[in-house]
Structures are given as C-alpha cells and as structure tokens.
Structure 1
Amino acid sequence: MLLPRVKRKHEPHRFDDGTVRIGGEIYGLATEISDPTGGAWAALTLMDGTRSPADVAEAVCRRLPGVSALQASRIVAALIASGHVEDASAPIPGELSERERERYNRSQAFFHQVDLAPGRQGWDAQVRLRAARVVVLGLGGTGSHAAWALAASGVGRLHCVDADVVELSNLNRQVLYTEDDLGRAKVDAAVGRLRRLNSDIEVTGERRAIGSEADLLSVVTGADVLALCADEPREPGIRIWANRICARAGVPWVGGGYNGPLVTVGAFAPGRGACYECLAAGEARRRRPGLPVDLGGPGVVAASAGVSGHLVAHSVISLLTGVPEPTTGTVIGLNLIAPDQHVWVRHPPRPECPVCGSDAEIDRVTK
C-alpha cells in the first residue's frame, strides 16, 4: 500500500500569504504552491507515512470542511506526483546486498533528495548503476578522476582503456598513480587501484591506442555510456570519431577536459539534442571570425583535473540513472579564475547533419 511521506530535506514551509514552499532552499528542487483553501498545507502535514492517500484526503476534509472530497483527492494526487513525497512502505530493491546498502547509503540519500520522479526512492538509481557498463577512454588527469568516481559510485562494470605509461609529470594531477607506478602501464596501475577501491564491481582494462574509427567502435560496442577522457588523435579528432561511432552504435557519450582554468564537459545521446559536431559548428558561427578555438592544453593542476573528471562522472551517472535529468546536446563548465563566467553552450541540430539532423540516416550497431 502506498503510504505517502514528505521526503527528508523537502519539508514544507508556509508563508504569511498562504503560499506553501516544498523542497527546501536548493535551487532547482523547490516548488511553491498557491494554497488559498489550505488543503495542500493540511495534506502535507498529514503525509507522515502512516496514512494511505485516501486516508490523507479524508483527514483533510475533516480538518477543512470547505474542501470537498474530490478537491482533497486531487490535492493529494498532485502532491504525490510532485516528486517531493515518497512511499514509506516501498521496500529496498532485492538486488542490493546488505554490504552494498551500507556502502552506498550516502549515494541513496543524494539520489533520493534530488530525484523528483514520482515513486522512486534513491535505491532505484543505485540498481541502475550496478547493472551498467561504462568505458573510460583515457586515464590521464580527467580520466583518472572520472574512473575513480565511477568506481566509488558503484558502476557495475567499468572498462578502462589507455596506451600510456605513468610518468613523473603525471603525478601532479592523476589521482590513481603513485611514485611506485612510474614506468608501469597506466591501465594496469589504474585497474589495480580501482579494484582495491571497490571489490563489489568488475573492473577491466586494456592497453591500446585508438587509431581509427574501427578501433573506437570495438571499444564502445556493448557499453551503456562512453566516458571520453582522451584527446588523441587530434586530427581529424577523436571527439569527431566518438560523435559518429557512438551515434551509429546507439551509445551515449560524455567528453570532458580542461584548458588552463577553463573546465568543460559535454553529454551527447543519439536522438536527444544536437550532436558534438553541430555544437562545434554553432560555436564557430558565434565566435568572432579568425578567433582560434583551443579546447585543450598542458596547463592543469590537481584541482582543475579533479573538477573536470568529476563533472564527467556526474554526467555519466546522470545518463545512466536519469538523476538528475541529463542535459544532452550541451556543453557546460566553469572558469576557475572567473567564477561568474559559467559555460553553457547549446545549439540546434543542423538539418543537414548526417549524425543528428532531420535527414540523418545512421545504420545502428546492435549493442
């Protein structure tokens, strides 16, 4: 039986003019309700996990004789649909062991707080992560932090790909390596570290360079999401390859990186907004003619690499779980030396684009 209860951190507040605010002060979560009859406030105070929706509606009518049974039922239904209310009787999914519930209880609290989809309780997102397969391509500054965050978050199968060895200059920002790893293949050191971080997931790796679209296709086939954290080859561009191959394979992908203090991440999914090439073309049209576009560079500190990697991991988790709602076809970011200069890049698909345009005809590869 559904037993509605207002979520923790979503407790309602009633203003002097009768307006009810539910969802707290977190930007993007709170909802303000015009409540002239007082029915919404009464229903929220009665939703403590001990009454069914019908019982709540009946109690509202008793408390407020001017509210009809139909009005009360509609108010209760609207509040349940708002996402600020949970089902106190919902069981924890059986897929998760007691050990996993203990490991991820803070993750569950995060998902529970920010997910406004009715009927979900936070553990649903963790189950989706547990069932997912993510490929992290590139284990440098961005990729090492992203892989760490995805393993810690409980992605069930994590596959790491990199061709390089650990060098001393890597250690200012690449979190998975130590001085003892100098000269080792990055992928070997990374896989070992990630397995020690989380033995409840499967971590695999391969040392290889991506030299063609065929190489990239062989890596992403069967993945749920690609985390693209590599910047080579630069010509014609591995992001161009990812854009086309992932569209063909039906695999969403996330690309992130840094250029000095500028940190950006983009998320792309077939059929959901503009592709990477359309965004790049839109930015080229917007910029002053002749201004060079440089989306990478050697300037980086541990903090900027960490922000970059964790933005990638956050976008991957969003794509896998739907929490928060993924912002696909978009590049976002921040400038660490100019906090007021947020990055928000969005352009419509070009009709003639062979990847995402209205005339696109892509042969899908079965996952």
Structure 2
Amino acid sequence: MRLPRVKAEHLPHRYGHDRIRIGGSIYGVAGEITDPDGYAWAALGAMDGTRTPGEIAGRLRRLFPRLTDEDAQGVVDLLLTSGYIEDAGVREPEELSPDEQDRYSRNAAFFRRTDLTPRPSSWEAQIRLKRSRVVVLGLGGTGSHTAWALAACGVGEIHCVDRDVVELSNLTRQALYREADIGRPKVEVAVARLAEVNSSVRITGESRAVESEGDMADLVSGFDAFAMCADEPGGTGGIRVWANRACLAAKVPWALGGYSGPLVSVAAFDPDGPCYECLTANVDASLAPGIPVDLGGPGVIAPSAGVSGHLTAQAVISFLTGIPERPGSYVTGVNLIAPDQHVYTRHPAVPGCPACGALSSEPAAGPSPAESTAAAPATT
C-alpha cells in the first residue's frame, strides 16, 4: 500500500484513554482497538493519504521514542491489514468510465463500508460486477425486483428467462410492467425496461420454459451466478433440484428467493455446499412425520415481493463481489408482520447427500418453524 488512508466510512473515534472505535456502528463491520499507549491512534491520525507506511512508522518512532523500528512498523502493518484502510495512491480504474464512476459512486461507498478485505482498489467490487454474467429465471414478483436491482448495481450481463405473458394481476407486485404491457411476453418487456435502467449493462432474454435438468444445465452454463425466481415444476425432483444439481456441476453459486405470505426469505448456495438438497433434508428431519409444510398459497403484496427480490439480488452480489469474502450457504429472511422473527440459519451438509456428497460445514442448530417454512418459498 503506497499511501494509506482511513476510509471515509470508517473514521475512528476514541473512547476514554485506551479504546478506539473504528468502522462506525454498523453491525458486523465496526471494530474496537485497545490502545492504552496511543500508538494506534497516532498511526491512524497519520494515515491521511499523504504518507507512505514507512513514513508513518517513522512518525510513530519520533512520537514514542521507546518504540523500536520493528514495533512501530508492526503497528502500521496491523492496521493496514484491518480492512479499514485504503490506498490513496491508486489511480482511478480505467475499466470504469467517468460516467460509470459517477453512476456507481454510492455503490463504491457501500462496498468500502462493508468490505474488510484489503484490496488494491476501492473500485474492485464494482469492477467484479461489471465483469460478471448472471441469469435470472422467472420474472414475476421476486424475479422482476431481482433483475432490476442487478441492472441498477451494474452487473455486466443479465440474461432473463420466463415463459409467461404480463397479466393484470401481476401489476400489484411485478416492478417492470405497466398496464400497456398486458398480454406481452414478460421477457420482451423486461429486457427493454432494464436497458432503460442501465444502458451500460448487456441485457438479453428468452421466452421459454425449463422442463428438465438438462435444460437447466444448458441455462446456467457459462454464467457466474444464478438467480432462481421460478417455482414450476415444483415437488420432489422438480425445478429446484434441477437447479441445485446443474449449479453444483457447473460450480455456479445460486440464490433461491421468494415469499410465503408475510414470510420473505432467500436461500443462498455456494457450489462447495451444503446444497439445496441438504437444506431440504434437514428441514424434513425437523418435522413430525406425516405433517406437511403449509407454504401459505399465493398471497403477496408489493413489499413482500420487493423484499424477496432484493434479498435475492444481495445474495447474488455477495457471491460476485466476495463481500463478505466467503458468504457460504445460508437461509435468511424476515416476517413482515412480525419483524422480530428474523430468519437465519446455516444448515449442515448431509452425509451421503445424492447431490453434493458429505461436504463439511459449520455446525448449525436445527431450523425454527419459521426457518423450515422459509426453505422453499413461493416465488410467483
């Protein structure tokens, strides 16, 4: 790092005489440094983008004569690897035009705040998005919001797939369509509207059904991530199992978003597992024999469709950018009429899983009833 500078989103604050709070108050991002001698505070104050790491270490030696050269450099090196520092000496990326840098400036601020992995440029996450190719299957309540969010964020290529036409009942929640679009193929409308959202993104589409595991394998091949926003054909061995196996084979991360009444969730699957079939096996094991899961039918309003789509887009963006570095496989969501019922679980791998085998995973508690229901939400 040539010219270290504390990220503007992570300016430090001192509490008492021996503690530093850095990273603001964002859960999972902020950190606290114990600094009884003031070394870290002095080093952070010198990291303003005008000094090299060696000059900062020399400044510490002058301020604190009892520090050795090795100890002063150690303080600097520790802060440089914390994720709260960026390099002010990095040139603006040539891969992003001035207009793109203006368009995505808020994206860059978001990624600087949430990313604690030291990177050569604060624009690296945006560049990764620009280089990425994503397929969105299903352009209904969840999928229309997912596709819009990915286009708005600057994913380089988005391929949209749906077999339906726009209907009047879609307009309560499906963000890309208007009354004048009724009767038109959803793909046709979505491709045109997304191009209006972001002309620098390549938007393609096809109006088709996915009717077999082979169809799914063809669909995800060559893409960097897959947003699964369709639920037909359902049932055991249906479209979600096809997606699971196709994505495992192609090493493509994927996200399954949807809603069950007010319960909105997304399940995200890393190609290293655990997989979708591990998740459903764990859910089935937690239920009393012979008692089916009631997913609540087709009830949905615009907010529940929107939240599910944006959770799905966020899961895809995390996979593409590496922020967080290894999100892994998980289920998360919220009950819109009981927001204290936050859904979050990481299901363990199932030994002998027919799809991914006995991949290891972090130990995880069994899902709550709300989490069980969230495993396979409706997505229309």
**Counterpart residue identity of residue 281, structure 2:** A
Partner of 2:368: none
Partner of 2:247: 246
Write out per-residue CA displacement over residues 133-177 of structure 1, whole angstroms, 9 at most, x where no aligned residue. Answer: 100000000000000000111111110000000000000000000
Aligned-pair Cα RMSD in Å: 1.5
Once the two structures are superposed, the pairs formed by residues 1-367 of structure 1 within 5 Å of their partners are: 2-235=2-235, 236-271=237-272, 273-295=273-295, 297-358=297-358
State the secondary structure of the residue aligned to 1:270: coil
CA distance in 2 between partners of 1:195 and 1:204 (Å): 9
Change (3 A) 1:113 1:34: same
TM-score by length of 2: 0.91
Write out per-residue CA displacement over residues 107-156 of structure 1, whole angstroms, 9 at most, x where no aligned residue. Answer: 11111111111134431111111111100000000000000000111111
Change (3 A) 1:255 1:191: same
State the secondary structure of the residue aligned to 1:291: coil
Please identify, of 296-305 and 153-162, the stretch whose mean Cα deviation from structure 2 is larger: 296-305
State the secondary structure of the residue aligned to 1:190: helix
State the secondary structure of the residue aligned to 1:9: helix
Change (3 A) 1:296 1:71: farther
TM-score by length of 1: 0.94
State the secondary structure of the residue aligned to 2:308: helix
Contact kept, 8 Å, 1:258 with 1:297, in 2: the verdict is no
Contact kept, 8 Å, 2:117 with 2:325, in 1: the verdict is no
Q: Give how far 1:64 is off.
A: 1.5
Say how many residue pairs are matched.
359
Q: Give how far 1:5 is off.
A: 0.7
Q: Give how far 1:9 is off.
A: 2.0
CA distance in 2 between partners of 1:316 and 1:188 (Å): 23
State the secondary structure of the residue aligned to 1:264: strand
Write out per-residue CA displacement over residues 269-299 of structure 1, whole angstroms, 9 at most, x where no aligned residue. Answer: 221x310111111122223444322446311
**Counterpart residue identity of residue 96, structure 1:** L
CA distance in 2 between partners of 1:132 and 1:9 (Å): 26
Q: Give how far 1:192 is off.
A: 0.6
**Counterpart residue identity of residue 241, structure 1:** W
Write out per-residue CA displacement over residues 53-73 of structure 1, whole angstroms, 9 at most, x where no aligned residue. Answer: 111011011112222221110
Partner of 2:372: none
Q: Give how far 1:93 is off.
A: 1.7
Change (3 A) 1:320 1:295: farther
CA distance in 1 between partners of 2:291 and 2:41 (Å): 56
Write out per-residue CA displacement over residues 64-119 of structure 1, whole angstroms, 9 at most, x where no aligned residue. Answer: 22222211100100001000011111112211111211111111111111111113
CA distance in 2 between partners of 1:209 and 1:296 (Å): 25
Contact kept, 8 Å, 1:279 with 1:345, in 2: the verdict is no
Change (3 A) 1:359 1:128: closer
CA distance in 1 between partners of 2:345 and 2:108 (Å): 30
CA distance in 1 between partners of 2:131 and 2:97 (Å): 14
Contact kept, 8 Å, 1:131 with 1:155, in 2: the verdict is yes
What stretches of structure 2 of length at least 5 have no aligned partner? 361-380
CA distance in 2 between partners of 1:295 and 1:128 (Å): 36
Write out per-residue CA displacement over residues 297-335 of structure 1, whole angstroms, 9 at most, x where no aligned residue. Answer: 311100110000000001111100112335322111110
Please identify, of 278-287 and 147-156, the stretch whose mean Cα deviation from structure 2 is larger: 278-287
State the secondary structure of the residue aligned to 1:281: helix
CA distance in 1 between partners of 2:213 and 2:276 (Å): 16
Once superposed, which parts of structure 1, at least 4 consecutive aligned residues long, lie more than 4 Å away?
Answer: none
State the secondary structure of the residue aligned to 2:101: helix
**Counterpart residue identity of residue 350, structure 2:** R
What stretches of structure 1 of length at least 5 have no aligned partner? 361-367
